[in-house]
Homo-oligomer: A and B are copies of this chain.
Amino acid sequence: MVGTFVTPAAEAGDRGQLALRCCVVRETRLDTARIRAARRVIDPIFLDTPLYRCEELEPDLGCTVSIKLETANPVRSFKARGTEVVASLLAGHGSRAVVCASAGNLGQALAWSGRGRGLDVTVVASRLAPAVKLDRIRALDARLELVDGDFDMAREQAAAVARYYGIRLVEDSLDIETCEGAATIGLELMDSPTSFDAVLIALGGGALATGVGHVLKALAPEVEVICVQPLGAPAMTHSWRQRRVVTTDSTNTIADGVAGRRPIQAVLDDLLLVADDAVLVQEASIIAGMRMLLDHAGLVVEPSAALGIAAIIEDRERFAGRHVVTIVCGSNVDIDAYHRWVGAAPRHGC
């Protein structure tokens, strides 16, 4: 089944034009039947992750909050859902090698998925990525190549490596497997007996948002799909709002997992079809979200995984009384940095 969607512009447009513009029905690049099929090639260790209501968060947040927890697996993020699809296709075609650029989590996931299938994995990452992520990529037997620039510089270098060796380049969010792998989270949300009103999704390159968003809009279009990005790395949100690719010169956020500067047109096109909103949050709210998840849910998360809670913190009124799901997408955090951020509250101080 291919999802078809009324463009958000039609819904956002003025009422006088609504009838006309509703006729503009488009399709994302994703395919719901392929997403269902993806579940069969993804190692079950990454599937059917916990989804549970966390009442302890609710008095502070003023809404019903459920957590979709993507950290209790061997790579501590959702990324392996996509790399499992990529690696199984490559292995099925007899490929021997693959390369990706990574902010840290995709690289770990591709290393894990490739190792189990006899693939040589090269990961290109920024020298500034968290040491814990780089260490894990190495520990999973991948070849790690560091660049002096940021994630978008790593993307260029990974493309060069792929050309030079003639091997497959995995491009996060652009490659449909990364989106459809992430989209299996959406299927699991749909299988839940509980209904909810909105899903908060960390927005970086867009694989998670377009993947989950596609499934929700195909199967439960009434659920609000809200993407959340740091104010310090707003390129995709600006792009979504302006309906064209907007790049930035730099990023400035602790949420390293979503700190891209150059959105991809095809991903933006999909995002425009499935996202109901894209919001930007402050660093202080991300830290408050991390602290809240620790104090009230007992969860250590990386900054990107606290974006959803940060969005609620910044706009309690919007979510008041509603049932909101937030996808806790990763926990690969440098523990010393984590202590600095989360331990900074006076009551934890020395």
Contacts and interface: CB of A to CB of B under 8 A. Distances in A.
A64 to B, nearest CB: 12
A55 B343 contact: no
B53 A74 contact: yes
B49 A74 contact: no
Contacts of A298: 71, 76, 300, 331-333
A349 B343 CA distance: 11
Interface in A313-350: 331-333, 335-336, 339, 343, 347-350
Nearest to A67: B72
A156 interface: no
Most chain B C-beta atoms within 10 Å of own C-beta, residue among A50, A56, A73, A349? A50
Contacts of A76: 298
Contacts of A45: 50-52
Nearest to A45: B52
Contacts of A333: 298
Contact of A336 (B69, B72, B140, B348): B348
A6 interface: no
A299 interface: yes
A335 B52 contact: no
A339 B336 CA distance: 13
Interface of A: 45, 48-56, 67, 69, 71-74, 76, 136, 139-140, 294-295, 298-300, 331-333, 335-336, 339, 343, 347-350
14 contacts: A45-B52, A48-B48, A52-B74, A54-B74, A72-B72, A76-B298, A295-B335, A298-B300, A298-B332, A300-B300, A336-B347, A336-B348, A343-B348, A349-B350
